[in-house]
Amino acid sequence: MVGARNRLLLRRHSRNIVTTCIVIIFLVVAYTYFSNDLRPDNAFLQITDYEIEARVVNEEILKIKPLETKNPKVAFLFLTPDPLPFEKLWDTFFEGHEGKFSVYVHMPNEKPVHKSRYFVSREIRSKPVRWGSISTVEAERRLLANALLDPDNQHFVLLSDSCIPVRNFEFVYNYLLLANVSFIECYVDPGIHGNGRYIENMLPEVEQKDFRKGSQWFSMKRKHAIMVMADSLYFTKFKLHCRPKKKGQNCFASEHYLPTFFNMFDPSGIAKWSVTFVDWSEGKWHPRFFKVHDVTSKLLNTISSIDESVHYTSDSKRSVLVTPCIWNGSKRPCFLFARIFYPRTLDRLMHLFSNFTT
Ligand SMILES: *[C@@H]1O[C@H](CO)[C@@H](O)[C@H](O)[C@H]1NC(C)=O
Ligand SMILES: *[C@@H]1O[C@H](CO)[C@@H](O)[C@H](O)[C@H]1NC(C)=O
């Protein structure tokens, strides 16, 4: 009798052990399954509501097929404090191409006496601009917004008062409109004038790994201009935290906002160089200024035949990054415009420009 009772107890015991094991296995599996969703590296838990919204808006804009208009135009956006010294040169550049371009001028100071009919009444409502600060970016956005009102404007070029064309209109028009990318300089500078300007207050939206540098002189497709209009999240981050001369931080929104923004949202949709040439090779605090005696046909030929873009970094190695300019899959000259030219070079430039064939 006792033996039978013990066997019965033992059987019950082992049944309990098996049940307990099954329950434990079930719990472990369930925990692993559900906790996968709760792990901190889950993408949706890591990013903020605003970031998800920005991602959705940008991805949708990128999917939109560009609207084909009968008269596609290039919008020339001039950002200048004072009257443009090279209006006469631009007049020669534009002449005979009416209907294929539009001009917008952001000029907060005095009202000019125009030298060219193409600039008459083309000023937009402007506000003062402090070099390198977010007010520069605000002026760029103002120019883009005004130019976007015209649906024929398909490509938007930002130019300064010291910029000149180094190609003729036909070449510029085809180069920009037929390109499948925007031209926004964008590179990593590990040094003090690059990543050294990054500030952690830009987190969580802007991480150091996404931070980029580039010239402010962009040219962009309409869809990219719309993305800039739609953005307030990243713009606000730069407005609050990327400020010239700010203590412990000397950040220039005009050199970081757009390169960082497009690096995050459409890195393959931008060529990583600017179509506006500038010469940093002297290694000074500012790029080279071209004076009257520098301006020769040789100089202009040299600039217009460059087919590799060069970026200088500010790290201790002072590396020079050289990349070929790839336009729609093949290597082509990089530059359509150039700066910085002194106003007094105008007469020589006018003379040389009349011989431009391309
Ligand atoms: C770009 O390149 C592709 C492939 O070579 C070609 O089919 C297309 O026509 C080119 N686009 C332009 C605008 O030249
Ligand atoms: C632009 O065109 C080239 C050549 O057809 C192609 O390799 C490249 O992926 C295109 N880029 C974009 C952003 O469409």
* Alpha-carbon gap, residue 56 to 227, rounded angstroms: 11
8 A C-beta contact, residue 75 and residue 155: yes
At 67, phi and psi to the nearest 5?
A: -70, 125
pLDDT at position 39 is: 47
Q: Which two tokens stand for residue 272?
A: 């990583």
**Probe target for ligand 1 pocket from 154, 328, 332, with the most ligand atoms within 8 Å of CB:** 328
Closest C-alpha to 277, from 102, 160, 134: 160
Atom of ligand 1 nearest to the CA of 180: 13
The binding-site residues of ligand 2, defined as CB within 6 angstroms of any ligand atom, are 180-181, 268-269, 328-329
Length of the chain: 358
pLDDT at position 198 is: 80
Could you tell me whether strands 276-277 and 337-338 are parallel, antiparallel, or unpaired per DSSP bridges?
Answer: parallel
Nearest CA to ligand 1 atom 7: 328
Q: Which residues neighbour 245 within 8 Å (Cβ) at sequence distance 6 or greater?
A: none
SS3 content of the chain, % helix, strand, coil (to 5): 45, 15, 40
Measured in whole angstroms, how far is the alpha carbon of residue 310 from the centre of its chain?
A: 17
Q: Which two tokens stand for residue 111?
A: 């009202």
Distance 331 CA to ligand 1 centre (A): 13
CB atoms inside a 10 Å sphere around CB 293 = 8
Q: Which amino acid is at 348?
A: R
Nearest CA to ligand 1 atom 3: 328
- Give residue for tokens 């953005």: 231
Structural domains of the chain, with CATH: 47-274 (3.90.550)
8 A C-beta contact, residue 237 and residue 210: no
- Print pLDDT tens along the chain (358 aa): 445 556 655 566 666 766 665 666 665 555 555 555 444 455 556 788 899 999 999 999 999 988 889 999 999 999 999 899 999 999 999 999 999 999 999 998 877 788 899 999 899 999 998 888 899 999 999 999 999 999 999 999 999 999 999 999 999 999 999 999 999 999 888 777 777 778 877 888 888 889 899 999 999 999 999 999 999 999 999 998 888 876 766 788 889 999 999 999 999 999 999 999 999 888 777 889 999 999 999 999 999 999 999 888 887 778 888 989 999 889 999 999 999 999 999 999 999 988 776 6
Distance 329 CA to ligand 2 centre (A): 6
Distance 142 CA to ligand 2 centre (A): 30
Among all ligands shown, which has an atom nearest to the Cα of 268? 2
Q: Is 328 in the pocket of ligand 1 (CB under 6 A)?
A: yes
pLDDT at position 296 is: 94
CB atoms inside a 10 Å sphere around CB 306 = 15
Distance 180 CA to ligand 1 centre (A): 9
pLDDT at position 24 is: 63
Q: Which two tokens stand for residue 99?
A: 């209907």
Q: Which residues neighbour 93 within 8 Å (Cβ) at sequence distance 6 or greater?
A: 165, 168, 169, 353
Bond preceding residue 25 cis, omega within 30 of 0: no
Among all ligands shown, which has an atom nearest to the Cα of 221? 2
pLDDT at position 56 is: 94
Among all ligands shown, which has an atom nearest to the Cα of 262? 2
8 A C-beta contact, residue 199 and residue 242: yes
pLDDT at position 202 is: 82
